[in-house]
Structure 1
Amino acid sequence: MIGFLLAGAVLAGVSAFILFMPESDGTHVFSDSGDTYKINMVTGEFKSETEDGKVIESYRWDPGTVYLPAGEPVTLSIFGVNGKEHPFIIEGTEVSGKVKKGEETVLNLQFDSPGVYRLICTAHASIEDNGPMIAYLVVK
């Protein structure tokens, strides 16, 4: 129980930091080439055991929130670490695919409209399916 509370406090702190982080000065923080933003993500898993011996787990994208510039090309590289495979969609787009354990999935994207686009693993979309496995692509 204390572990869950501690994890929740850490998550709240990180979320607050990201939410109130100062605006970028335009520097391509994630850029390899100066023209295309490259974002690296991985699949992850939290696993624990309840007091009565029940194993509980949840799959996640890491990082769970990514800020992207509108109208700029973006390369999203996702490496499968935990879980056999994660079929996904990016809500509000036609983008879909699958991340497999031990493999890299590379997506070349461009979001022209600001907003929040959810990267959703369709195999882990809810708590009942060991999720929700959702990352937030925040386009400004």
Structure 2
Amino acid sequence: MISIFVASAFIWFNFQTKVTPAFNEEEQVREIHMVTGEFSTETDEGKEIEAYRFDPGTIFLQKGEKVNLKIFGVNGDEHAFTIEGTDIKGKIQKGKETVIPLQFDKPGTYRLICITHKDIENNGPMIAYIVVK
């Protein structure tokens, strides 16, 4: 009888679906979603003007918090970017999602700056603010 129980337990444990947790509860990573957008209009003189932006324009993080900032490119073919005060830089492309892992050790306001649209002459400034408390 005991041998049947041991054999049954062996078979049951060895043929169970191996479940791997999607994340370690201690290592949770928050996702924040952002998009690139564009406003365009025409002046009374017939000149077309446009401005690009990140939406939302401000996000809030806690010091030490792990975040995946997911930016989806909607308007504009490509947005080269940098995050001021860090070594983070990259590109956001139209129709694609760019994932930027973030974790700040110092409180402050960090600017996510689109280099392509850095000033009014280039249909900007296209800046989002990352506020770390």
2:34 maps to 41
Runs of 4+ in 1 over 4 A off after TM superposition: none
* RMSD of aligned residue pairs (Cα, Å): 1.2
- Residues 69-113 of structure 1: per-residue CA shift (max 9 Å, x gap): 110111000000000000000000000000000000001110110
Alignment TM-score, normalising by the size of structure 2: 0.79
> Separation in 2 of the partners of 1:64 and 1:39?
12
Letter of the aligned partner of 2:47 in structure 1? K
**Identity level (%):** 63
Larger Rg: 2
The counterpart of 1:85, out of the listed 58, 78, 81, is 78
Q: Which residues of 2 match residues 1-140 of structure 1 at below 5 A?
A: 35-140=28-133
Gaps of 5+ in 2: 1-24
Letter of the aligned partner of 1:63 in structure 2? P
Structure 1 residue matching 2:121: 3-state secondary structure: helix
Gaps of 5+ in 1: 1-32
Structure 2 residue matching 1:99: 3-state secondary structure: strand
> Separation in 2 of the partners of 1:46 and 1:122?
18
Alignment TM-score, normalising by the size of structure 1: 0.75
